[in-house]
Structure 1
Amino acid sequence: MADGEELDVDAGKIGCMAAKFASLGGTLSDAQMVKKLLDTVPESLFAAVAGIEQFCDVETICFDEVLGRLKAFQERTERRKAAVGGERRGDQLLLTDAQWEARRRQRGGGHDHDDDDGGSSVASGAKGRHGRCYNCGVRGHFSRDCRQPRKEKALLADVDDEPALL
């Protein structure tokens, strides 16, 4: 198996080999398929192979389980490389600081500190809080910190409003 080749491709080749054995009247056991897979992985997966050989019984482990462990290890190492700044896949999106700021403003989390009543939330004592209270609707504090009496949520439906409940 080459370094750039996918594990699924290699597993498919081993599966085809098992099918050819079966068509010729022979059998290829899971243990033999596991050994073949572990012998053909690229060098980037040798740490996972060593862990599987050390902590699992290669004679009794299922081929699909070994393949799943190798895939998980490969995905984890690819994510780590991407996080460090090594490789980047096509599905990862990188934004500039200005683009992040524009996205935050578009979603309502911008740097405007104005309340609905025209006062500043920083001046009213809510330093750095930009959220809107779900209880009273005023910006600058959260509902858990609200001094207004709690609004009660209606738990019962009115039968006249909801005829489907009958």
Structure 2
Amino acid sequence: KVIDETYGKKETSGKQETAIDEKAENTTKGIIFQTLPQDMLMQVAQYTTTKEVWNSIKVKHIGADLVQKARLQFLRSESETLKMKPNECANEFAGKLSSIQAKFKSLGGTLNDKVLVRKLLNSVPKNFPPIVASIEQYQEIDTMQFEEVVRRITAFEERLKSQDEPENNYQNKLLLASSNNQGGGRGHGRNFTKNKSSYGKSTSHRSIDKGF
């Protein structure tokens, strides 16, 4: 009888401990589920124990972290290898750099303005050294905002274009004048030949008339 009573107490105690463990397990799972985003919750809801849930979250988090790092590395390589095309204006090239910076931010990374400023100054055409030297000499490159450098480079670019326009117009006028002169010369040559031929015929007729 004593043995039976003792066994009964142990069995009851074991059931109570199991119930407590299950309650704690469910409570912990409930707390975890409340902190998860909806898409992640749907992926781990199938697991019954807290350990299984945590393992699943860990694996998914590590995988997502690796993907994020790979994307950031790709963007960094893209920014380093990006080159300005021959006919590309500074503002267009700066827009590409700003787009890469925005993608960095969306992935939780950071691409400092200092990096973009250096990239832009090293990518401008060969006729831009005056403005590049001015910025590097009189400005703090490491603290300058990227937008400010873009504004200065663009202003210099517009100034170069305005200086090139009169020269281009002058060259076009020279070409047009040369073309007109060549056309006029050819016309006079044809008229001269025609008149010379007519003169020869007229002289021949007069000679014949005198012979008669």
TM norm structure 2: 0.38
More helix by share: 2
Larger radius of gyration: 2
TM norm structure 1: 0.48
Q: 1 or 2 for the larger relative contact order (CA 8 Å, sep ≥6)?
A: 2
